Structure 1
Amino acid sequence: MDLVIEVARQGNFAAVARSRGVDPSWVSRTIASIEDDLGFRLFQRTTRRLALTEAGDIFLRRIEAIVEEFEQARDEALAVSAGPTGILRMTTSVGFGQKVIVPLVPRFRSLYPKVDLDLILSDSNLNLVNDRIDLAIRLAANMSGDGIVSKLMDTTYHVCASPDYLSRHGQVQTPSELKERDCLLFRLPGFRSHWVFSSAASEEIEVPVHGGIVVSSALAQHALTVAGMGPALLADWLADDDIQRGRLVNLFPNHTVTATTVETAAWLLYPSKSFLPQKVRVMIDFLRSEMTGRRGNL
């Protein structure tokens, strides 16, 4: 029944096969077998897409609730007998994933060895339903969508440079001096054209920036900054450890700086359901605990 629901949502066998790691012919044969058992066609087949038949639409609307009830019953029973278990499909951006999430995986697995983690690092926002995502972490000023949205942590930005860069090119005393510097830019709207500064004692200042290097990877921008290639606007989760260790210098610690809006955050997203699976719940609680500890150590 779960396969029928997924095929209806995806609209073709190939997409379902990719998400499950099986051959499309297996999906097609399985659906045909289910239709034989039911005694009616679930889908109209065309060369481009599948569409639900009238009978298939009625059937799907009833079984979605049944499948969700079954999942909840199984999850509650397993929680009593075995604790959190199952495959947790989780996604986040490449940079945040490698810098923040990957170092936490060993501890999570030691706490919950029966939860298998399928971690998908991608700078594209995957569809929670079509890609069968249990939990997503996304970075943005605000977040909305069809699923449930909850803030994981606030994020901030710093303008950073390496000590080597500053020794070769001199200190940067004020934000406006960045107009004369060759900055390392990030390939997102705003991030590569202007940075906005504000402090308790001054009004907001928008500083135009330029540079000979523009990158689409936050990790690459960070590495180039540490290598002394110029000042860069880096997220706190990317730069704070290096600032603490002296590998990077926060050029304007008394300023709030951004390229979009001051209030940015990492957000948790998960599909809307009548219940939250235990494997998702323990990951959310684990991440909140780790992020609180991380903030306390900086």
Structure 2
Amino acid sequence: MDIKTLELFVAVARRGSFAAVARERDVDPSSISRAISELEAELGLRLFQRTTRSMALTEAGDLYLGRLEPLIEELGHAREAASQISGAPHGLLRVTASVTFGQMRILPLLPAFRARFPDISIEFLFTDENVNLVSERMDVAIRLGPVVEGDLIAAKLMDTYYRVVASPTYLGAHPPLKVPTDLQQHRALLFTLRAYRTTWLFRDEEGRDESVPIAGDITLSPAGSLLAAALLGLGPALLPHWLVDDAIAMGQLVDVFPRHRVTATTFETAAWLVYPSRAYLPSKVRVFADFLKENLPNGHRKR
């Protein structure tokens, strides 16, 4: 029984579609269907119940998948372990990250990563959706927020925090922003997530917290659009430090409340490297994780 056919069966079971697997592998769907039919004939079992509109595992197929999938994964681990002895990390690395963080902080690192690991190919999916790593066959996700929960392995890449920023032009033409409650006299630039559109939380140097209602008439996504709007002088915006620090250093934006910590959800946030929970971490994932930790500066968190 050919291992590649078994891997194909697992892929079809995960995706629930011959066509989806065929697109991923750049082959004709009929070749996928033919391989599965040959496997069923060899086993003497029907693995999938097919109709013109849908396909689902049979009871026998579900049982077969449950026993086979861990074995296929272990075979992959064995190949990976053996390859580490004879050569550098290699293979296709599939990574997903949020649109703005991926474009602004990950893409600029790729030339150095490719120079160091020329045998690793990378496929990026930049999206603000939380992609299912298993069903989408992703090796790594980079996610922003509090601690990542669930059946996943997460390693912190860098602390993140937020600033309220506005352009010098905007500040010169509108009522002064001296204390956080002054924001109620302004139309803020809003992010599409509900938690970011109604209230911003501030913590002063003595550790006192204050909740400030926020209103505005421009709502934007992804975060890079908010940055562009702030630079155009359209209003104050709540943005992560990794997105605005360069603009602040160049005088294009002003950190309006430099003595406060500010957030919309929680003050303890970070960028996390996330991968499916498994006993063995492929070398291509390990070197990518180490590279990001080395090259993503943690910055200075305001206390």
Same fold, TM-score > 0.5, yes or no: yes
Q: Distance in 1 between matches of 2:132 and 2:33?
A: 23
Secondary structure at the residue paired with 1:149? strand
Instruction: Give how far 1:58 is off.
Output: 3.6
Instruction: Describe the shift of the 1:13–1:261 C-alpha distance in structure 2 as closer, same or farther (beyond 3 A).
Output: same
Match of 2:248 in 1: 243
Q: Is the 8 A contact 2:92 2:121 kept in 1?
A: yes
Deviation larger for 74-83 or 87-96: 74-83
Per-residue Cα deviation, 1:238-269 (whole angstroms, up to 9, x for no partner)? 11121122221111111010111111111221
Match of 1:295 in 2: 299
Match of 2:198 in 1: 193
Q: Is the 8 A contact 1:19 1:131 kept in 2?
A: no
Q: Is the 8 A contact 2:158 2:298 kept in 1?
A: no
In the alignment, which of 234, 240, 252 is matched to residue 239 of structure 2?
234
Q: Is the 8 A contact 2:90 2:284 kept in 1?
A: yes
In the alignment, which of 56, 66, 72 is matched to residue 77 of structure 2?
72
Match for 2:213: what amino acid? P
Instruction: Describe the shift of the 1:255–1:134 C-alpha distance in structure 2 as closer, same or farther (beyond 3 A).
Output: same
Q: Distance in 2 between matches of 1:290 and 1:55?
A: 48
Matches within 5 A, 1:97-246: 97-169=102-174, 171-201=176-206, 203-246=208-251
Question: Percent identity between the aligned chains?
Answer: 49
Per-residue Cα deviation, 1:68-110 (whole angstroms, up to 9, x for no partner)? 2221121122222221000000001101111111111111111
Instruction: Describe the shift of the 1:180–1:227 C-alpha distance in structure 2 as closer, same or farther (beyond 3 A).
Output: same
1:262 aligns with 2:267: yes
Q: Is the 8 A contact 2:133 2:139 kept in 1?
A: yes
Secondary structure at the residue paired with 2:12? helix
In the alignment, which of 82, 95, 100 is matched to residue 95 of structure 1?
100
Instruction: Give how far 1:202 is off.
Output: 5.9
RMSD across aligned positions (CA): 2.0
Per-residue Cα deviation, 1:159-183 (whole angstroms, up to 9, x for no partner)? 0011222222254111111100121
Per-residue Cα deviation, 1:137-158 (whole angstroms, up to 9, x for no partner)? 1112232123222222221000
Q: Distance in 2 between matches of 1:21 and 1:224?
A: 41
In the alignment, which of 80, 84, 88 is matched to residue 89 of structure 2?
84
Count how many residue pairs are aligned between Structure 1 and Structure 2: 296
Q: Give TM-score scaled by structure 1 length.
A: 0.92
Instruction: Describe the shift of the 1:16–1:134 C-alpha distance in structure 2 as closer, same or farther (beyond 3 A).
Output: same
Per-residue Cα deviation, 1:166-212 (whole angstroms, up to 9, x for no partner)? 22225411111110012111111121111111112362111111112
Match for 2:280: what amino acid? F
Q: Is the 8 A contact 1:139 1:267 kept in 2?
A: yes
Match of 1:61 in 2: 66
Unaligned runs of 5+ in 2: 1-5
Match for 1:117: what amino acid? I
